Amino acid sequence: MTIYICKNLVSLSLKNSSHLNKTAISLFSLLFFSSSPETPIAVADYLIDRHKFSPESASKVSSVVKYVKRPEETDSILSFLKESGFAETHLERVIKNAPQLLSTNLECTIKPKFKLFRDLGFSSSDVVEFVSSNPRILTSSVDNRLGPSILALKSVLGSNMDDVSRILKRYGRLLTHDLAKTMMPNIEFIMKSCSMSSTQITRYVYKWPRLFTYKPTQIREYVKWVDEMGIDRKSKMFFKAIRAISSMSIENWELKLEVFKSLRFSEDDILSVFRRAPLVFTLSQRKIKAKTQLLLSTGKCDISYVVNHPFLLTLSVENRLKPRLRVLEVLESRNLFLKKPSLATVCPLTDKKFFEKYVLPYSDEVGELF
């Protein structure tokens, strides 16, 4: 099209060589000077030189996007984010995780999201945090995804937008799901079929938001599976069991069963562990094995003890099990107990209570060790 116009302009100027057509000259200047296309820039050079990105971040972005085709437009996008409160670290995180934002449309794609967040009552700092946690939020539709999903969250968590903001900061990916078609039907089904109160549901949404984004058909399958494992729907372990089942594939489930069997747990033992502490099965095979071996090696418990107190397997090895086992070992070796405490009594204590009961009275023996 441009070539066609140029030919006409040249022809026109030749026919009127004594008196060049001013309109033709103006159009010619407009085409070749005022609207000349920008030169693409290698994305790594662009981010480092013009926006002070670290080489590591720029390199990661360049593995996805090779060139910035319209540098001035991209400048506008990054400038808008900076003006909206995004510090350099936030900006790098956003572009690393969503490089496509460099070539998006500021007016049509990005600004409407910020207007929505502002209209719903989110603070600038809140928006910075949850967008940084999952910048793909900025590529979602305002009308079909973001708006309805935020309102769905608000209806579950209450009218306080601080509560909605708190969960989005931790799991911003919620807004990339259609919560009206996933979370809301799942909540309705769980409340009816499992006799859960709205208070319980709210607590679980805070704790495990991702679970509520599964397709309703999947949630029904998980409930059926937990039923078959023999856990009563009114038990406080029922929803934890759903959470555990949802976190792994059938193959992973089988691998964890094999780990327990290798440690000489019977099938009844394994089923009992699941019923008493389903979240044990969210641990990796390596952690299950390491924690079980540590407990059995102390001589303070056997497999039946672990089966009866499986919550011990959910405790941190370095921050809870090893330090406390070491303190008890020293105190027992010096015969400072009239009655030896059980691991099931000692390990659940907070650090403060453990210190007051087992360290402070014996500070000469274990104070430095603790």
- What does the pLDDT read at residue 33? 40
Q: CA-CA distance, 92 to 21, in Å (whole number)?
A: 52
Nearest Cα to 291, choosing from 277, 304, 280?
A: 280
Q: Is the pLDDT of residue 322 over 70?
A: yes
Quickly tell me which residue has 């909540």 as its tokens: 187
More confident residue, 174 or 293: 293
- What does the pLDDT read at residue 10? 42
pLDDT tier at 369, thresholds 50, 70, 90: low
- What does the pLDDT read at residue 85? 95
- What does the pLDDT read at residue 366? 72
Among 95-109, 110-124, 160-174, 226-240, the range scoring the smallest mean pLDDT is 160-174
pTM: 0.75
Domain residue limits, the chain: 2-34, 315-370
Quickly tell me which residue has 């033992």 as its tokens: 269
Residues 240, 282 contacting (CB under 8 angstroms) = no
- What does the pLDDT read at residue 37? 53
Query: Tens digit of pLDDT for each residue in 254-290?
Result: 999 999 999 999 999 999 999 999 999 999 999 999 9
Q: What is the DSSP string of 161-188?
A: HHHHHHHHHH-GGGGGS-TTTTHHHHHH
- CA 275 distance to own-chain centroid: 27
Determine the residue type at 90: H
- What does the pLDDT read at residue 310? 97
pLDDT tier at 361, thresholds 50, 70, 90: confident
Q: Is the pLDDT of residue 170 over 90?
A: no
Q: How many CB atoms lie within 10 A of CB 109?
A: 17
| C-beta contacts of 191-194 below 8 A and 24+ residues apart | 193/223, 193/233, 194/223, 194/233, 194/234, 194/238, 194/239
Q: Is the pLDDT of residue 183 over 70?
A: yes
pLDDT tier at 38, thresholds 50, 70, 90: low
